[in-house]
A and B are shown apart, each in its own frame.
Chain A
Amino acid sequence: MADFTEAIKAALLVLLIISATAAATAKKTLPAIIIFSSFSLIMAVVWALLESPDLAITEAAVGAGVSGVLFFMAYRRMGMMSGGKGDDENGKEDDDEHKG
C-alpha cells in the first residue's frame, strides 16, 4: 500500500513538472491557459497527499477554477483588442467555447 501511494506521488510530481514546462513553452495562449489550470489541479492533489488540505482547497478553488476563468476572460479581451482575433490564427472560433 505504501509503495502504491509513493508511486502515485512520483507520477503526480513528474506530471507536475511536465505540465509546468508545457504551460511555459506552449506556443498558443489558449492551450497554455488550459495546461496551467491542469497544473493547478495536479498541484491540489499533491497538496492533499502532502497532508495540507487547507492549501489543497485553496489551490483547487483559486488555481484550477477562478484564475483559469479570469485568464479566459482576459484572453477573450485580448482577442477583441487586436480586432476580433487572439494571438492564435483561429482565435475567434476558440473564443466562442470558453465562456463559463
Chain B
Amino acid sequence: MSIRDKLSALLGFDIDFDAPVPPRKTETAAEQTPDEWRFSRRIMRAGGRRLGAIYKILGVICSVVLMSTLLLTVAGMPRYGVDQEYMDTVTYEYISHGMEYTGAVNIVSGIILEYRAFDTLGESFVLFCAVSCVLALLRADGADSEPERVEYRDISCDPILRRTMRAVVPIVLLYGAYVLLFGHLSPGGGFSGGAVIGAALIMIASAYGEDVSGRILTERVFKTVTTCALSFYCLGKSYTFYTGANGLHSVIGNGTPGNILSAGLIMPLNVAVGMVVACTIYGMYRMIGQRRF
C-alpha cells in the first residue's frame, strides 16, 4: 500500500498527484514558482473543498474546547487576594528566603536561574532548535550555493546611517553587557541582555553592509559559542543540582549579596544564556536576509 493510497483512505477522497497542474493566471508568476510549491498546490486542489470544511469545523471545535477549558480553569482558581494562606506559600518562600539561598539581589534572576534553572535550560534549547531549523531550511548551500543577489537599494553606504550607528552601537553594546553582567543585581538577565546585544549586532550588520557583517560572526564562531554556552550551562547547573540535592558543600559560594561576584553561578549562567540568545537573533537575521553567514 503506497503512501498515496494510505492518504486517500485516510482522507476519504482520491488524491491525484499526477494530475497536470493547470497553469496559473500569469505566465511569469508560474515560471518563478519553486518546484516544491507545486506538490502542496496539488494536494490543496485535490481535496481543497472537503478539507476546507473539515478544517473549519475542527477549528471551531478546538477553539471552543480550549476556550471553555481555560475559562473553567480560571473560574476554579482561588480568588485574587483572598485565601492567601495556600496561595502565597511559594511566593512568600521566594521573597523571604530567595536572597539568602541564591545570593541574588534581583529575585527574578534568582528564580529563573536557581529555583527554575531547568526551565531556563529548556528555553535556551528551544532557541537553539529554532535557529538550527532556520539554518537547515534557509541556508543556501549545495546545489544552490550561489548566494542570492538581493535586489534592493543598498543602504549600507548611507552616511547618515553610518554616523548614527557609530554613535549608538557602542552605547547599545555597553548597555547589553551591563544588563547581562548585572543580571543578578539589577533588572535584566540573560534573555534581555542577549536580545540587546543581538540587536546591536544587527545594527552593525545593516549599517556596514556585507563586508563587515560577514566578519562579525562567522559560522565557526557561531557554532563554537552556542555549543560552548549550552554545554557550560548544562555542566554548571548539573554541578549545582548534584551538590544541592546531595547536601554536599559547593565550591562556588553565594558570596555577599550585592557584590558583582556573588550569587554563585548566576552571573556566568546569565552570560551563557545571553550568548545563545545573541547568536540566535543574529543568526536568524543573517539567514532570513542573506541566507548565509
Using CB atoms and an 8 Å cutoff, list the residues of chain A in contact with chain B. 53-54, 56-58, 61-62, 65-66, 69-70, 73-74, 76-77, 80-84, 95-96, 99-100
Contacts and interface: CB of A to CB of B under 8 A. Distances in A.
Contacts of B289: 73
Nearest to A77: B288
A54 B192 contact: yes
Contact of B155 (A74, A76, A100): A100
Contacts, number: 65
A58 B195 contact: yes
Interface residues of B, number: 31
A58 B191 contact: yes
B192 A66 contact: no
B189 A100 contact: no
A76 B155 CA distance: 15
Interface of chain B, main secondary structure: helix
B196 A61 contact: yes
Contacts of B32: 81-83
B276 interface: no
A54 B188 contact: yes
A80 B138 CA distance: 14
A8 to B, nearest CB: 20
A56 B195 CA distance: 12
B142 to A, nearest CB: 19
B202 interface: yes
Interface in B108-160: 108, 150-153, 155
Given A57-B179, A61-B195, A83-B28, 20 more contacts: A54-B106, A54-B108, A56-B187, A57-B192, A58-B191, A65-B199, A66-B199, A66-B202, A69-B285, A70-B285, A73-B289, A76-B150, A81-B32, A84-B151, A96-B152, A96-B153, A99-B152, A100-B155, A100-B161, A100-B207
